[in-house]
Chains A and B, each alone.
Chain A
Amino acid sequence: MKMTERSIFSLLLILVMTFFVIIAFNYNPQARLFPLVVGSMTLIMLIIQFLGETVRTFGKRFPFLSQQGMFSTPPNKEDKQGERGQTLDESAPWTSVLVIIMSIIGFIIVLYYTNYLVAVFVFLFTVLCLIGKEKPLKGLGIAIIMTLFMYILFDLVLNTRF
């Protein structure tokens, strides 16, 4: 059994789906029908998917796990788009994703305690200078221009009140 990033994601989905199926038993018979049926079927499929990803012999025994959709585009180096083509390099580090997530969480906190204009300015200036490693003056310029643009778009043009 070999655990990969992919199989860990499947395992997470299994845990979430198991939780949803268990919770479904609390509802009245009519209300739990669909969550139970759909949830159980999805759970079984996820377990098979997980086993196919972790146990090599299992994956070989069940070829339908790797069967493509009927109209899936053929593999092509030029086809960089689409559901299939949009797959990302799994070696791309999750740490960089984590940094982005942390910056978004920071944005949400600033947004919650101040207002959207402050949040936009702080977020853009910070990520451009710290993550993008741009010169402070350039980061400042982009942050000011975008904040002004957001103000004009949301406050003046669309009259949105947050």
Chain B
Amino acid sequence: MLEAALPALLELISWPGIMYLCIGALLGLLFGMLPGLGGPQVLALLLPITFAMDASVALTLLIGASGATAFGGSITAILINTPGTAQNAATVYDGFEMTKQGRAGQAIGAAAASSVLGAIVGALILTAILPIGKYLVLAFSYPEYFMMAVMGLAMIVVLSQGSLWKGIIAGGLGLMVAFIGYDPVTGAVRYTFGTDYLWEGIPLVTMLIGLFAIAEAISLWTKKGAISTEKVNTSMKGVYEGIGSVFKNFGLFMRSSIIGTIIGIIPGVGGAVANFIAYGQAVSTSKNPEYFGKGDVSGVIAPESSNNAKDGGALVPTLIFGIPGSLEMAVLLGALTIHGIQPGPRLMLDNPGIALTLIYALVLANVIVGVVGVLLASPLTRLTMIKTVYIAPIILIFALIGSYAADGRIQDVITALVFGLIGYAMIRYQFSRVALVIAVVLGELLQQSFHQTIDSLGYAGFFIRPISLSFFVITVFILILPILKRKRGTV
């Protein structure tokens, strides 16, 4: 792997890789700042654009955009009390308080430094774990893949935000969507209703564009007014003081980063959870917990370092096992497949350069947006004042043309619209879109590895192999956790 490290870095920092990284990072920053939009939306919009690109350049663009959204979201969280993305929700508690106290510059400086350093910690842990992936290759076969898919589904559905019951239903709906099309193992063509278009199933990109970009544009449009009505007031004083505060609270920063990385590794949990858990540990380990919520800079450092470190962690299951650690990773997984790269245990053997490019791009994207974000915080925040009547149609145009650009088929645009409506209804009636998407991604792996295991090893195959059995035990444990939690709550 080390021999691939230098070429991957050189490719990334040479032309045009660095240009695409900057573009991706700036777009990610922009989308992160726009409430309601974030990593999934920017990735869904950028994905069709990358079709004509070289795989490494395309992935650089995508990971750059994905990695930058978390910091973008922190700017609006700090300045106008509106988290740009779900993973910045905990940042508002102390970030906005600091702004009200005239310490916005310090808060942004702390957020920028935490984001950059958090991403580096996450990437370092990821780099340390990835080489072990090679040795897992021979240990994994059909039963392990099946149990991994089951485990991934169990975690995603159980840990999805909001109603647990609806999360499971959304997972079921996602699996049914995954069953559409030709199944190479059983040789059947299902739910195509006589159309050739559905032969290969619902295109993942089109579905994502619909579920996120179009659904989000519709919900923005119906809200009227501007995205944000708060008066933006930012001061750049104290930025350096904020950066320095991360080093003064280095223990807190490291703990939060490690928490973020671990949560990132668990499929389906993501930054929205990471930032709250990191914030919670910051409060519980502080000598002065009473200062939290009143403008304590630790309340910015903890969530911001964890939500950036989680990106490195989320790449672990994505690259080694082909299981997305978050929604962004689900889209990235689709991008890898589209560009002919099969994530999974063989990735480190076949394409070690790609994995390293992703890691470096993640770190560099955070460095770029950290610098740019601090310099341009004030003018960029004004974008949130744009009326939704302007921004929503433009998002729609990009989404619809993006879905059309994939294959030049009008059916893709119609499919995107249908999933846009489904996504909007899911937001409106609180069904988890994350559970649906992850189920779609894992559905194929689930049923194919199931049939392959039965054909080659029989039903006992799932339980006679140690790794498969371990995954089964973990899955059972994950599934009974909510029951235990409920019982404990009622006692």
Contact = CB atoms under 8 A, between A and B. Distances in A.
A86 B427 CA distance: 6
B428 A88 contact: yes
Contacts of A84: 161-162, 430
A38 B425 contact: no
Interface in A22-42: 23-24, 27-28, 30-32, 34-35, 38-39, 41-42
Contact of B485 (A5, A70, A83): A70
A31 B164 contact: no
Interface stretch (B305-313, B329-337, B406-414): B406-414
Interface string B175-211: 1100100010111101100000000000000000000
A140 interface: no
Contact of A67 (B389, B404, B482): B482
A69 B162 contact: yes
**B86, B273, B433, most chain A CB atoms within 10 A:** B86
A152 interface: no
A127 B393 contact: yes
Contacts of A72: 161-162
Contacts of A87: 427-428, 430
A13 interface: yes
Nearest to B398: A150
Nearest to B390: A142
Contacts of A70: 158-159, 164, 481-482, 485
A82 B272 CA distance: 7
Given A88-B428, A127-B393, 10 more contacts: A49-B166, A76-B89, A81-B83, A83-B432, A111-B413, A124-B393, A131-B389, A132-B393, A146-B397, A158-B49
Interface of B: 35-36, 49, 52, 73, 81-86, 88-89, 92-93, 158-169, 172-173, 175-176, 179, 183, 185-188, 190-191, 214, 218-219, 221-223, 269, 272-273, 276-277, 387, 389-390, 393-394, 396-397, 400-401, 404-405, 408, 410, 413-414, 417, 420-421, 424-425, 427-430, 432-434, 446-447, 450-451, 481-482, 485-486
